[in-house]
């Protein structure tokens, strides 16, 4: 094969022949330019993997002559030859790099083979939202093994400026995906660009309702499901004239939403547990709710008399206790009725989940032990479950009855001296 000092002038002067030919550089062995019969010219480099004489020669294309200058192509060729001399195989590494999926491509595998198969539906939904809405649109085009901690940190900071909590949970989702990538042997064990990224502080204080606040909430619920909660209208606003007439300015709360709020307080159950509760899981005879799938897995909730009465007063419209718009479709949230109740009751900064905290606080403040209250709430992590395993059903049922009586009295405005005050930390 011809050998020349490859410069722009000599390369431009090379005329195409009837067959593809490589013209080698006279100074750097293995470096050359490939010329096809059509006149296409590209820089190439030939090497032996590992530098051994008995190893078959491999050829790599570096780029077109119009894209890379001779000096740039020669520099790339030197790097490849040096890598081969040290035992590497640049062509194989390049092929592997092409096979490495992007984050967007691997996210589909992660969802299909891990998220949808091994995670709870609610958790899977959260992971899918993080991936599809936050991660893939921003960094989805990056190869899985090329994502850096700096890039992840920038995304975490961008999301965290508005939603620190969501940013932290997005980080957990991405970390889980890289753990799965390591299991699939796509990245080395321990490769995880989310590590050592400091999370945003989340100073969400747990809120505990006082007896007076519970009484006002109870009155607002009763008003909402009977006469309706009156609207607050600014008569001075230019558009106020388009608002309904004064006699029609009321928000009615349907009996199922009202029952759901009462049950959250009286049982200490989670919102999802009550909204997903089916009549087939209600054991009226034994006063129990059998939940086949909760946040902590299979769970049983003891029904006190007050909670049982709420259930007894509800008509059965379908398979779900808290009926939705469709008979056999669960209700998704209680945001609007809860907001209306809080506004009418004059109670601020209270989440539905705080009803669960309030349930526990009434038990603790009444002198019940933390293990009893923990069992009522279904804290079933392995260590906690073992600690509560020795407890008998009778003291647990008595604890549930005591709490239910006190909370029911507060809801009805009868008052109780065993209620908890507003606390700033969990008992």
- How high is the pLDDT of residue 422? 40
Q: How many angstroms separate the CA atoms of 352 and 209, rounded?
A: 11
| HEC assignment per residue over 162-213 | CCHHHHHHHHHHHHHHHHHHHHCCCCCCCCCCCCCCCCCCCCCCCCCCCHHH
Which of 292, 272, 271 lies closest to 280 in space, CA to CA?
A: 292
Q: Which two tokens stand for residue 134?
A: 């936050």
Question: In the chain, which residues have pLDDT < 70?
Answer: 1-3, 50-53, 91-98, 203-206, 232-249, 295-296, 363-398, 415-427
- How high is the pLDDT of residue 244? 54
- How high is the pLDDT of residue 388? 28
Which of 110, 128, 117 lies closest to 181 in space, CA to CA?
A: 110
Please identify which residue in the block is written with the tokens 């750097």: 28
Q: How many angstroms separate the CA atoms of 276 and 332, rounded?
A: 9
Q: Which domains does the chain have, with CATH numbers?
A: 3-99 (3.30.160.390), 103-183 (1.10.150), 211-411 (1.10.443.10)
- How high is the pLDDT of residue 379? 56
Coil vs helix vs strand at 378? coil
Q: Which two tokens stand for residue 291?
A: 């939940």
Q: How many angstroms separate the CA atoms of 101 and 178, rounded?
A: 12
Which of 252, 253, 277 lies closest to 263 in space, CA to CA?
A: 277
């Amino acid at each position: 094969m011809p050998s020349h000092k490859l410069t722009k002038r000599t390369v431009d002067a090379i005329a195409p022949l009837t067959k593809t030919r490589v013209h080698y550089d006279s100074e750097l062995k293995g470096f050359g330019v490939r010329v096809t019969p059509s006149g296409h010219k590209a820089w190439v480099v030939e090497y032996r993997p590992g530098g051994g004489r008995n190893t078959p020669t491999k050829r790599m294309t570096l780029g077109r002559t119009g894209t890379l200058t001779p000096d740039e192509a020669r520099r790339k060729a030197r790097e490849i030859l040096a890598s081969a001399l040290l035992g590497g195989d640049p062509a194989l590494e390049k092929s592997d790099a092409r096979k490495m999926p992007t984050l967007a491509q691997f996210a589909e595998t992660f969802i299909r083979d891990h998220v949808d198969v091994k995670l709870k539906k609610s958790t899977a939904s959260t992971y899918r939202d993080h991936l599809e809405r936050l991660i893939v649109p921003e960094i989805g085009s990056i190869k899985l093994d090329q994502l850096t901690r700096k890039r992840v940190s920038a995304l975490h900071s961008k999301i965290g400026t508005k939603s620190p909590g969501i940013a932290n949970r997005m980080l957990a989702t991405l970390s889980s995906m890289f753990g799965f990538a390591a299991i699939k042997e796509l990245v080395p064990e321990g490769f995880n660009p989310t590590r050592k990224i400091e999370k945003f502080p989340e100073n969400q204080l747990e809120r505990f309702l006082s007896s007076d606040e519970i009484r006002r909430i109870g009155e607002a619920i009763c008003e909402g499901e009977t006469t309706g909660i009156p609207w607050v209208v600014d008569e001075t606003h230019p558009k106020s004239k388009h608002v309904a007439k004064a006699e029609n300015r009321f928000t009615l709360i349907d009996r199922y939403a009202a029952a759901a709020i009462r049950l959250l307080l009286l049982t200490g159950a989670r919102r999802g547990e009550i909204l997903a509760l089916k009549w087939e899981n209600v054991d009226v005879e034994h006063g129990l709710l059998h939940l086949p799938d909760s946040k902590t897995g299979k769970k049983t909730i003891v029904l006190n008399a007050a909670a049982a009465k709420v259930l007894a007063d509800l008509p059965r419209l379908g398979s779900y206790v808290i009926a939705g718009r469709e008979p056999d479709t669960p209700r998704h949230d209680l945001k609007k009725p809860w907001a209306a109740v809080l506004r009418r009751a004059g109670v601020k900064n209270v989440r539905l989940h705080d009803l669960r905290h309030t349930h526990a606080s009434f038990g603790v403040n009444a002198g019940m032990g933390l293990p009893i209250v923990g069992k009522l709430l279904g804290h079933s992590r392995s260590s906690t479950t073992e600690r509560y395993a020795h407890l008998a059903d009778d003291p647990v049922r008595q604890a549930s009855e005591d709490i239910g009586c006190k909370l029911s009295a507060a809801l009805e405005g009868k008052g109780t001296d065993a209620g908890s005050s507003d606390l700033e930390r969990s008992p």
